């Protein structure tokens, strides 16, 4: 099905795709360090929100993504400080430890549904924050941990690293969207009991989604600590990270391929713009915009786009329409 | 060989026995009717077969294997499909996607998405909604939603299918079509258990009928025998006027 759709793309849209890739490749060489830094952080948040959305496809709303983010960050930092493990291996270690934790947490918490799962994930992240504050000799407590800058402070390779991570996440998303997984996830989200009667093991698929989601979140955490060189528990385990993970996909469009990325791009740019232009009270405007979006754009930006723009563009945004030609 | 066999199955909810020592079996390719007043335990019996509940005591055998304590998805893969008394379509999916989900995850070998889609379209045509496969499942008529549920139950390649009041709320023409559909499902070699309140349907298509009352089986036999049974008349059918 994917192949058919790729064939259906016109030369014009192929040119567009090539152009976008060239642009993304040369982008870091053109912009100022400030914009490059902002871009890296935006892409990192895009990874977080896309991986949150991957789990959300099974109908599970996690408000504890910060837990995995922090696990990844602390794992990468501690491995570097104590064993001089190279940063990239440390990021992988953070990702794999997150998978391991997600399996245990999944078996304990994914039997709960809706709001109860959400609450238990908040508790998970908050517990880790308290833990990292208490074990001062191990985690540095509120003093935090510091590591030398990634790639000797050169932001360009960092850009390509986090960008590849985003491509990997999107690869998983496209795979889930175009395979039998899509039907498993969507039916569990719609009605878990009926999915069960139709031969789908809900726990299995929910844990699978949780594993994928937490791996990328953990990896991004590892990247964050090496990129910013310094973390304190509140920075990585804080509720603001978990909330950001779910607000951005909601703004961009839930269960779509590019929705979370677009949501992140818009929300982060807006935050930064407001922060620079309105010194005091920029968060009030930010809040008002969020309320407006939830009230008037329940389908998100991608949903709005799909309603108004023709098929080629919506195809690029979401390859989900499974209509049949008879 | 009996496809399904209940041996002294009892199910308690708290102190209340929803089913009391019920035993029965199905014969190959038969249509077995299940009737009884509201609260008699008919849907509980379906939920026990499909694994939503586990029996408090007694044994349930499917193809001579005990299915006691198995999960619904495991029992589904052993060949049990069902519809729901209160219809449960996946509301944000099209009819085709609803049926396709069953085809992809039901019994039998794993299919490619394209083959599975063809099979799902065939099933939609079989139940008579071939022209509506692209419609959102909650936006079609009640009769079509019921057809969709039947197609979805058939999608898992069942040997035994459980129909929970598939005729309720249909008009007489639609009921005739549904009766015809149930007969055609039987001709596919599938054993059917049917919960039904409409006696015309029960008399017409059921080979045998089981009557439940207060969780107990009070009668079993052909529809002729059942309709003249004193106890059944008192409990459910009412006196002839």
User: pLDDT of A125-164, one tens digit each?
Assistant: 999 999 999 988 888 888 888 888 888 888 899 999 999 9
Q: Kindly identify which residue of chain A lies nearest to residue B106, measuring between CA atoms.
A: A199
pLDDT tens per residue across span A24-64: 888 888 889 899 999 999 999 999 999 999 999 999 999 99
Mutate to test the interface with A, among B49, B78, B87, B101 (most CBs of A within 10 A): B101
- Looking at the structure, tell me whether residues A156 and A11 fall in a common domain: no
Pairing, β B208-213 against β A145-146: unpaired
Same domain? A148 vs A271? yes
User: What is the percent of chain B where pLDDT is above 70?
Assistant: 98
pLDDT in tens, B52-65: 999 999 999 999 89
Residues A161 and A105 in one domain: yes
Residue B136 has pLDDT above 70, yes or no: yes
- Rounded to a whole number of angstroms, the CA Rg of chain B reads 18
Chain A residues whose C-beta is within 8 A of a chain B C-beta are 1, 178-180, 183-184, 186-187, 190-191, 193-202, 322-324, 326
For testing the chain B interface, which of A190, A194, A195, A197 should be mutated: the one with the most B CBs within 10 Å? A197
Please judge whether A201 and B73 are an interchain contact, meaning their C-beta atoms are less than 8 angstroms apart. Answer: yes
Helix (H) or strand (E) holding B228: helix B223-228
CA distance B124 to A296: 37
Residue A6 has pLDDT above 70, yes or no: no
Contacts of A183 in chain B (CB under 8 A): 97, 100-101, 104-105
> Cα–Cα–Cα angle for A128, A131, A133, nearest 5°?
115
Strand order in the sheet with B191-195: B80-82, B160-164, B191-195, B31-35, B208-213, B216-221
Instruction: Find the CATH number of the domain harbouring A68.
Output: 1.10.3470
Q: How many domains does chain A have?
A: 2
Say if CB A306 and CB A314 are below 8 A apart: yes
Q: Which residues, at least 6 apart from A31, have a Cβ–Cβ distance to it below 8 Å?
A: A39
B57-62 and B4-13 as β-strands: parallel, antiparallel, unpaired? antiparallel
Domain of residue A5: give its range. 1-30
Domains in chain B: ranges and CATH: 1-79+163-168+197-241 (3.40.50.300)
A319/chain B closest Cα distance in angstroms: 15
Determine contact: B101 vs chain A, CB below 8 A. Answer: yes
Assess whether A24 and A117 both reside in one domain.
no
Q: Over the range B110-126, which residues count as b (16 or more CB within 10 Å of their CB) and which as e?
A: ebebeebbebbbebbeb
What pTM value is reported for the model? 0.89
Decide: B48 and B11 in contact? Cβ < 8 Å.
Answer: yes
Please check whether residue A322 lies inside any domain of the structure.
no
- In this complex, the residue of A179, A193, A200 whose CB is nearest that of residue B105 is A200
pLDDT 10s digits, A221-259:
999 999 999 999 998 999 989 988 888 898 888 898 889
Residues of A in contact with B138 (CB under 8 A): none
Lowest mean pLDDT among A293-307, B9-23, B215-229: A293-307
The two structure tokens encoding residue B92: 């944000």
pLDDT, residue A314, reads 47
Q: Are A243 and A231 in contact (CB under 8 A)?
A: no
Per-residue burial over A145-163, b = 16 or more CB atoms within 10 Å of its CB, e = otherwise:
bebebbeeeebeebbebbb
- Among B53, B73, B112, most A C-beta atoms within 10 A, so best to mutate, is B73
User: How many residues are listed for chain A in this entry?
Assistant: 326
ipTM: 0.91
Q: Does A26 map to a domain?
A: yes
Dump the DSSP string for A102-149.
HHHHHHHHTTS-THHHHHHHHHHHHHHHHHHHH-HHHH-GGG-EE-PP
């Amino acid at each position: 099905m994917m192949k058919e759709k790729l064939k259906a793309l016109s030369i014009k849209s192929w040119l567009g795709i090539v152009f976008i890739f060239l642009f993304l490749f040369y982008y870091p060489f053109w912009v100022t360090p400030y914009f490059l830094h902002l871009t890296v952080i935006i892409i990192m948040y895009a990874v977080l929100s896309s991986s949150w959305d991957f789990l959300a496809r099974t109908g599970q709303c996690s408000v504890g993504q910060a837990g995995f983010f922090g696990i990844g960050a602390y794992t990468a930092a501690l491995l570097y400080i104590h064993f001089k493990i190279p940063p990239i291996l440390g990021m992988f270690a953070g990702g794999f430890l997150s998978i391991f934790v997600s399996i245990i947490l999944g078996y304990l918490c994914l039997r709960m549904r809706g709001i109860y799962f959400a609450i238990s994930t908040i508790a998970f992240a908050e517990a880790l924050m308290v833990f990292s504050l208490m074990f001062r000799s191990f985690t540095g407590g509120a003093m935090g941990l510091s590591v030398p800058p990634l790639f000797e402070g050169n932001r360009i390779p960092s850009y390509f690293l986090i960008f590849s991570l985003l491509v990997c996440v999107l690869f998983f998303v496209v795979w889930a969207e175009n395979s039998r997984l899509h039907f498993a996830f969507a039916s569990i989200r719609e009605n878990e009991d009926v999915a069960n009667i139709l031969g789908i093991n809900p726990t299995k698929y929910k844990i699978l989604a949780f594993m994928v989601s937490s791996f990328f979140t953990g990896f991004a955490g590892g990247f964050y600590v090496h990129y910013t060189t310094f973390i304190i528990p509140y920075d990585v385990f804080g509720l603001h990270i978990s909330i950001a993970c779910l607000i951005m996909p909601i703004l961009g469009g839930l269960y779509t391929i590019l929705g979370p990325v677009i949501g992140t791009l818009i929300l982060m740019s807006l935050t930064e713009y407001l922060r620079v232009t309105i010194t005091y009270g920029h968060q009030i405007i930010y809040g008002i915009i969020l309320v407006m979006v939830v009230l008037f754009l329940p389908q998100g930006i991608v949903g709005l786009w799909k309603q108004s723009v023709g098929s080629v563009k919506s195809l690029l945004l979401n390859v989900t329409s499974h209509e049949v030609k008879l | 060989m009996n496809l399904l066999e209940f041996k002294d199955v009892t199910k308690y909810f708290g102190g209340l026995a929803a089913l009391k020592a019920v035993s029965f079996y199905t014969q190959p390719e038969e249509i077995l009717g299940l009737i009884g007043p509201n609260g008699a335990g008919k849907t509980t019996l379906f939920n026990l077969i499909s694994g939503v509940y586990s029996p408090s005591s007694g044994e349930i055998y499917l193809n001579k294997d005990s299915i006691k304590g198995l999960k619904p998805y495991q029992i589904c893969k052993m060949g049990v499909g069902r519809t729901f008394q209160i219809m449960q379509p996946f509301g944000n999916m099209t009819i085709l996607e609803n049926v396709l989900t069953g085809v992809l995850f039901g019994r039998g070998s794993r299919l490619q998405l394209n083959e599975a889609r063809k099979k799902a379209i065939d099933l939609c045509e079989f139940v008579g909604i071939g022209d509506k496969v692209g419609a959102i499942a909650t936006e079609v008529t009640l009769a079509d939603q019921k057809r969709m549920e039947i197609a979805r139950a058939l999608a898992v390649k069942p040997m035994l299918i459980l129909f929970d009041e598939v005729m309720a709320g249909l008009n007489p023409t639609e009921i005739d079509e549904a009766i015809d559909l149930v007969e055609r499902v039987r001709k596919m070699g599938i054993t059917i258990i049917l919960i039904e309140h409409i006696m015309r349907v029960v008399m017409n298509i059921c080979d045998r009928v089981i009557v439940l009352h207060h969780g107990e089986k009070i009668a079993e036999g052909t529809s002729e025998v059942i309709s003249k049974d004193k106890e059944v008349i008192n409990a459910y059918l009412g006196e002839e006027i």
